[in-house]
């Protein structure tokens, strides 16, 4: 018999052992839920949902799963999709009522978008690349030689990947005589169109971008829908790095994002966002976050690669690396600009007597307050 690791919900004289029934692997992944810090208090909504617990829709050559308001009820403002497309596999031509923000995780994705002025955006996107498709703009995605995996974030928690407007369904639900008139041909030409959606399906890997572009008008979209994060500098802090993608460097975007790396021992400092909810996707590592709300409410959650986190606007939070390896996490905000209030800088810029009068801090703490930003501390 293998020995079970000892982990009991006991803190000092509080708590008691858990003789079972018990899902120990989940307890061990969520130690701050099973054995909360003493500072946790009151009730907060659930702020975590792993993609591993989201229904996975398996299709011909790919899959898609989503974390929406149905999985994570607090997240009314944003929903996310994790999608895999094998080599050549296509996510059908479609559009939707929501804006779509994307981040490439693996492989290469070919994104094809046509804007309202008839301009064309066609690009092969690599890990770290981002796109923003405004609501209603038609597009498709195709896996290149090695396939692709990516994250999508939509600006409405009610979004469903299963309820987008699809080119197959639009044609299937239009009278053939209307199709004939629309395209200027006879209706018998539409006898073989699919009766139902294709959604995700296999095609051969397409020709190289240069060959495909050569066959199409050269009319790039003036305000690009794609953004290469490799082209922007990371900002280095004492405990890690941050890349900011918002309307200042990506003018078309209506959602902004931070790509954060936190070294072992490091922590995204205590802060909040005055004007946006924060939708998180953990790419690597293990972390914890405490979210603070009015009337002394605080709850701590644990996250690891593949998990989704959420922070309602204005609520205080930090992200602490609790593992031995770097944490990489994406924060997406439902606002064009990324802004936050740093607790440390707020205190550093407030008259010291006012701060001392509130918190009875000694001179060591008062001297440690920083007027300059250290967004990831250690
Ligand atoms: Co889409
Ligand atoms: Co934040």
CA distance to 44, 127, 169, per residue, from 163 (Å):
30, 27, 11
Which residues lie at CB < 5 A from ion ligand 2?
278
| Topology, domain 52-227 | Jelly Rolls (2.60.120)
pLDDT of residue 231: 87
Query: What distance in Å separates the CA atoms of residue 254 and residue 232, rounded to the nearest whole number?
Result: 19
pLDDT tens digits for range 149-207: 999 999 999 999 999 999 999 999 999 999 999 999 999 999 999 999 999 999 999 99
Q: Ligand 1 centre from 96 Cα, in Å?
A: 6
Q: What is the band of 2 on the pLDDT scale with cuts at 50, 70, 90?
A: low
Query: What distance in Å separates the CA atoms of residue 365 and residue 187, rounded to the nearest whole number?
Result: 78
Is 60 exceeded by the pLDDT of residue 21? yes
Q: What is the band of 3 on the pLDDT scale with cuts at 50, 70, 90?
A: low
Q: Ligand 1 centre from 167 Cα, in Å?
A: 12
Q: Do the Cβ atoms of 364 and 353 come closer than 8 Å?
A: no
Write down the H helix ranges in the chain: 24-29, 31-34, 167-172, 176-183, 209-214, 343-349, 352-359, 363-368
3-class state of residue 296 by DSSP: coil
Q: What is the band of 16 on the pLDDT scale with cuts at 50, 70, 90?
A: very high
Query: What distance in Å separates the CA atoms of residue 123 and residue 289, rounded to the nearest whole number?
Result: 36
User: What's the average model confidence in pLDDT over 349-372?
Assistant: 97
User: What's the average model confidence in pLDDT over 116-133?
Assistant: 97
Dump the DSSP string for 309-329: EEE-TT-EEEEEE-SSS-EEE
3 annotated to bind ligand: no
Domain 232-377 falls under CATH 2.60.120.10: yes
Is 80 exceeded by the pLDDT of residue 294? yes
Q: Do the Cβ atoms of 247 and 336 come closer than 8 Å?
A: yes
Cα 154 from chain centroid (whole Å): 9
User: What's the average model confidence in pLDDT over 274-301?
Assistant: 98
- How many C-beta atoms lie closer than 10 Å to residue 13's C-beta? 5
Is 261 among the catalytic positions?
Answer: no
pLDDT tens digits for range 82-106: 999 999 999 999 999 999 999 999 9
pLDDT tens digits for range 26-74: 999 999 999 999 999 999 999 999 999 999 999 999 999 999 999 999 9
Is 358 among the catalytic positions?
Answer: no
Is 100 among the catalytic positions?
Answer: yes
What residue ranges of the chain are covered by domains with CATH 2.60.120.10?
Answer: 52-227, 232-377
Q: What is the mean pLDDT of the chain?
A: 97
96 annotated to bind ligand: yes
pLDDT of residue 204: 98
Q: Do the Cβ atoms of 245 and 321 come closer than 8 Å?
A: no
Cis ω for the linkage preceding 21 (within 30 of 0): yes
CA gyration radius, the chain: 24
Please pick, among 59, 161, 263, 320, the residue that the annotation labels catalytic: 161
Is 149 among the catalytic positions?
Answer: no
pLDDT of residue 6: 82
pLDDT tens digits for range 217-242: 999 999 999 999 988 999 999 999 99
pLDDT of residue 5: 58
Q: Which residue has the tokens 């090695």?
A: 146
Element (H, E) at 329: strand 327-333
Query: What distance in Å separates the CA atoms of residue 106 and residue 274, rounded to the nearest whole number?
Result: 33
Is 106 among the catalytic positions?
Answer: no
Query: What distance in Å separates the CA atoms of residue 4 and residue 18, rounded to the nearest whole number?
Result: 13
Is 60 exceeded by the pLDDT of residue 129? yes
Closest ligand to residue 273's CA: 2
173 annotated to bind ligand: no
Q: Do the Cβ atoms of 111 and 131 come closer than 8 Å?
A: yes
Query: What distance in Å separates the CA atoms of residue 287 and residue 327, rounded to the nearest whole number?
Result: 7
Contacts of 167 (CB under 8 A, 6+ apart): 92, 93, 94, 138
């Amino acid at each position: 018999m293998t020995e079970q690791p000892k982990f009991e919900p006991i803190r000092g004289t509080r708590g008691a052992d858990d003789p079972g029934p018990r899902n120990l692997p989940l307890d061990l992944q969520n130690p701050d839920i099973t054995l909360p810090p003493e500072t946790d208090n009151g009730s907060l909504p659930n702020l975590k949902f792993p993609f591993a617990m989201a229904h996975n829709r398996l299709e011909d050559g790919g899959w898609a799963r989503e974390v929406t308001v149905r999985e994570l009820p607090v997240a009314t403002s944003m929903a996310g999709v994790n999608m895999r497309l094998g080599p050549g596999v296509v996510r059908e031509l479609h559009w939707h009522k929501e804006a779509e923000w994307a981040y490439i995780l693996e492989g290469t994705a070919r994104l094809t978008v046509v804007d309202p002025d008839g301009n064309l955006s066609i690009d092969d996107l690599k890990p770290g690349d981002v796109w923003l498709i405004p609501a209603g703009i038609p597009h498709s995605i195709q896996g290149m030689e090695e396939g692709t995996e990516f994250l999508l974030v939509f600006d409405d928690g009610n979004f469903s990947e299963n309820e987008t407007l699809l080119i197959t369904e639009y044609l299937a639900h239009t009278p053939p005589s209307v199709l004939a008139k629309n395209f200027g041909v006879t209706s018998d030409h539409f006898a073989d169109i699919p009766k139902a959606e294709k959604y995700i399906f296999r095609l051969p890997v397409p020709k190289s971008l240069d060959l495909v572009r050569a066959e199409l008008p050269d009319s790039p979209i003036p305000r690009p829908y794609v953004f290469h994060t490799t082209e922007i500098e990371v900002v280095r802090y004492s405990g890690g790095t941050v890349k900011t993608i918002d309307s200042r460097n990506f003018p078309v975007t209506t959602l902004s994002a931070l790509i954060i790396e936190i070294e072992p021992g490091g922590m995204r400092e205590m802060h909040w966002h005055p004007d946006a909810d924060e939708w998180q996707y953990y790419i690597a590592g293990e972390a914890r976050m405490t979210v603070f709300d009015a009337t002394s409410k605080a709850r701590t959650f644990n996250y690891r690669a593949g998990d989704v986190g959420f922070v309602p606007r204005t609520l205080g939070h930090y992200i602490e690396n609790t593992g031995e390896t770097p944490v990489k996490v994406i924060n997406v905000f439902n606002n064009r600009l990324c802004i936050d209030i740093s607790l440390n800088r707020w205190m550093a810029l407030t008259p010291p007597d006012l701060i001392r009068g509130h918190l009875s801090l000694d001179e060591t703490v008062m001297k440690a307050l920083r007027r300059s930003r250290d967004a990831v501390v250690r």
